[in-house]
Amino acid sequence: MRIGMTYDLRDDYLAMGYSLEETAEFDRLDTIEAIESALRQLGHRPERIGHIRELARRLVAGERWDLVFNIAEGLKGMGREAQVPALLEAYDIPYTFSDPLVTALTLHKGMAKRVVRDAGVPTASFALVEDVADVRELRLPFPLFAKPAGEGTGKGITAASRIANRAGLEKVCRDLLERFRQPVLVETYLPGREFTVGMIGAGSTARVLHVMEVLLNDKAEQGVYSYLNKEHFQERVVYRLVDDPEAVEAGKVALAAWRALGCRDGGRVDLRSDRQRHPQFLEVNPLAGINPERSDLPIMCRLGGMEYVDLIGGIVQSALRRVPSVENVARSAAE
């Protein structure tokens, strides 16, 4: 089966003058090579496409693929992760991972929390700050936690994100509003354990792959899984698979959130426990990083004994369930 690959290559954007932080969510070349190799091992014919402009050029030129393996994050706006899926849908080309609605919704952490809260999924109390003046109307009890509403990879999160008083809240919100030009999500600080839960599948077929606890060592910024902690995880972070009762509860909450939001094929749900040791939904990543060495999802799979090629294969098979004719073609080619 001919599978196109859409992605944003970090080196390309660095060469354009964007900073390391601005490109933090984009992919390294070794990620693209690893996915390409896995697809070949699975018997497919991968073909690199690249970012959305290159995809658009090739679609207009008449090129088509049986499936597109899409990990393009996009560059601008709250709908940036929805751009490639929307374009592929316009050309009736099937693709991996979540659709335009889900990718736009989940990028905005406040909107995602509203949906999961309405679905009965536990999540910390929160508010959105769109202007510094909003801080004066906020009535959540301290300590609080603040972060950009539409960023990933820990961007905008530092030790200062945990806030003890209103003066600190105003300063952090002002800084984040000026720096990221988007709303700031402010939520009750959760002092308990931090989990990230790997997911695969969609709807009734979705299941938890593993529950992984994120532990910070003495070299890390404490109390937050920050941008710097994630960038330097080898020296600052310890990951371990867990299956104690609190971790099992985290998996159940993650699965409920995944289904409530309509996420598909593979990704991660992040949670943190409250003072009563009940895991609370933080956010979901429907386009989770899949670098075989550095990304949380492959790390937990490796810790659990799952080969990288099997992870990629599971994602592809989940996507093919939505296009049974393509799945039949793939089966026939393999026989």
CATH topology agreement for domains 2-106 and 125-188: no
Neighbours of 101 (CB within 10 A): 13
CA distance linking residue 249 with residue 289, whole number of Å: 24
User: pTM for the whole thing?
Assistant: 0.93
Q: What is the pLDDT along the chain (335 residues), one digit of tens a residue?
A: 999 999 999 999 999 999 888 898 899 999 999 999 999 999 999 999 999 999 999 999 999 999 999 999 999 899 999 999 999 999 999 999 999 999 999 999 999 999 999 999 999 999 999 999 999 999 999 999 999 999 987 889 998 999 999 999 999 999 999 999 999 999 999 999 999 999 999 999 999 999 999 999 988 888 888 878 888 888 999 999 999 999 999 999 999 999 999 999 999 999 999 999 999 999 999 999 999 999 999 999 999 999 999 999 999 999 999 987 654 544 444 44
Q: What is the homologous superfamily of the domain 194-304 according to CATH?
A: ATP-grasp fold, B domain (3.30.470.20)
DSSP element (H, E) containing 273? strand 266-273
> Which one of 3.30.1490.20, 2.30.330.10, 1.10.760.10, 3.40.50.920 gives the CATH number of domain 125-188?
3.30.1490.20
Q: Which two tokens stand for residue 181?
A: 């030009």
- DSSP H helical ranges for 148-284: 166-180, 227-231, 233-236, 245-261
Q: Which residues of 305-332 are buried (b: 16+ CB within 10 A; e: fewer)?
A: ebebbebbbbbbbbbbeebeebbeebee
- What topology does CATH give the domain 2-106? Rossmann fold (3.40.50)
- Helix 245-261 crosses helix 100-107 at what angle (to 10 degrees)? 130
Ramachandran sector of residue 97 (left: φ over 0; alpha: ψ -120 to 50; beta: rest): left
For the chain, what are the domain ranges? 2-106, 125-188, 194-304
